[in-house]
Amino acid sequence: MFLEQIVATSVCHSDLYHLFEYMHPEGFPTVLGHEAAGTVESVGPGVTEFQPGDKVIPIFLCQCRECRFCKSPKTNQCELAWTRVCQKIMASVESRFTCRGKRVLQFMGTSTFSEYTVVHQSAVAKIDPAAPLDKVCLLGCGICTGYGAAVNTAKVEPGSTCAVFGLGAVGLAAVMGCKDAGAERILAVDINSQKAEKAKAFGATDFVNPKDHNIPINQVLAEMTNGGVDYSLECVGKVEVMRTALESCMEAWGVSVIVGWTDMYDIAIRPSHLICGRTWKGSMFGGFKSKDGVAQMVKAYMDKKLMVDEFITHNMTLDQINNAIDLMKDCKCIRTVMSVSPQ
């Protein structure tokens, strides 16, 4: 364990999911926030990898490097992950926080809407000390999640046709991943037409608003692509969109990836939609082995091979957290970065 001073943090939809959508009574009180960057303040016993002053990004998915999951190339899950113990409340019951003597849960193992947080060394990536923390904090969740879902999980191929549903930071990063993987056509789908321009800046070739059509959106996409897309990525977190994304892929070989998060409902699908040849997958943190993936993505940004600054639409300070949450709730931002402590 060590103490990290948070320098910058941003709001991701998963914070809103916990706060306004799932609202599980056992999940509160909690300190939200999981997309951040900071500096190691002090280290506890047994911490060998980090020293005070190191620049770091906390990660909601750990990588202990020792367990059977970490040792397998087939997964980026880790047996130490909080998701394996207490998924329903998105927080470990063994919290490291108290407030006036009462336990406060640590959200997703991170809790970054705070000046300081205590993190496990398996859930932190050491990064290039020259990296601007008020930018690379976004690599702690949204960008790695969407980009990796396209590149690592869907394994988008050059020349392919893709559809991305939901154009928040996660979906826009998925668009960017599809583009970098060589997709020829990228159909960006959102019920908010204001996202069209941004999607095109990240590589989308077409924008489709389901509200502009009176037939199901999978039929619209099938007509635009001669039968369906090769890859679809659901970056919204709604089960009906997950189903639509699967149905939007080419029946013979389409691959659909669920990236949006929800654990509130089951999904229904006709078995024949899979039997004919579609593949349905899920992706957590973009399929990246988390510590390795974050360091690699920070390097790509520093080498000017990855867009990050373009996701930031607002800058605030941590005391404006409620305004930042409202902006995302009202669909008026991509990412709001809050400065917490001096860099």
Ligand X SMILES: NC(=O)c1ccc[n+]([C@@H]2O[C@H](COP(=O)([O-])OP(=O)(O)OC[C@H]3O[C@@H](n4cnc5c(N)ncnc54)[C@H](O)[C@@H]3O)[C@@H](O)[C@H]2O)c1
- Residue 104, H or E segment: strand 102-107
CA–centroid distance for 207 within its chain? 22
Query: Of 12, 144, 235, 249, which is the active-site residue?
Result: 12
Asked if 246 and 280 touch (Cβ cutoff 8 Å), the reply is yes
CB of 194 to ligand X, least distance (A): 9
Is-catalytic flag, 14?
yes
Task: Choose the stretch contacting ligand X; rule: CB under 6 A; options: 83-91, 196-204, 277-285, 314-322.
Answer: 277-285
Nearer to ligand X, 111 or 145 (CB): 145
Q: Does 237 bind ligand X (CB under 6 A)?
A: yes
Task: Choose the stretch contacting ligand X; rule: CB under 6 A; options: 87-95, 127-135, 235-243, 270-278.
Answer: 235-243
Query: Of 10, 13, 18, 70, which is the active-site residue?
Result: 18
Look at residue 194 and give its three-state secondary structure: helix
Closest CA to 288 of 61, 66, 90: 61
Which of ligand X, Zn ion, none sits in contact with 70, Cβ below 5 to 8 A by type? Zn ion
Sign of CA dihedral 222, 226, 229, 235: negative
Q: Does 36 bind ligand X (CB under 6 A)?
A: no
Tell me how far CA of residue 192 lies from CA of 167, 189, 271, in angstroms.
9, 9, 31
Q: Does 142 bind ligand X (CB under 6 A)?
A: yes
Is-catalytic flag, 120?
no
Cα–Cα dist 114/112, whole Å: 5
The residues pairing with 316 across neighbouring beta strands, listed in sequence order, are 338
Q: Does 137 bind ligand X (CB under 6 A)?
A: no
CB of 282 to ligand X, least distance (A): 7
Summarize as ranges the residues that interact with Zn ion (CB under 5 A).
12, 14, 64, 67, 70, 78, 141
Cα–Cα dist 135/133, whole Å: 5
Is-catalytic flag, 24?
no
Size of the site for ligand X (CB under 6 A): 33
Near ligand X in 172-211, by CB under 6 A: 189-192, 195, 210
Nearer to ligand X, 225 or 283 (CB): 283
Residue at shortest CB range from ligand X: 168
Residue 335's Cβ-count burial label (10 Å; 0-12, 13-18, 19+) is buried
Residue 158 DSSP one-character state: T
Cα–Cα dist 297/236, whole Å: 23
Query: Of 62, 141, 162, 178, which is the active-site residue?
Result: 141
Look at residue 231 and give its three-state secondary structure: strand
The residue ranges that bind ligand X (CB under 6 A) are 12-14, 17, 141-142, 145, 165-171, 189-192, 195, 210, 235-238, 241, 259-261, 283-285, 328, 331
Active site residues per annotation: 12, 14, 18, 34, 141
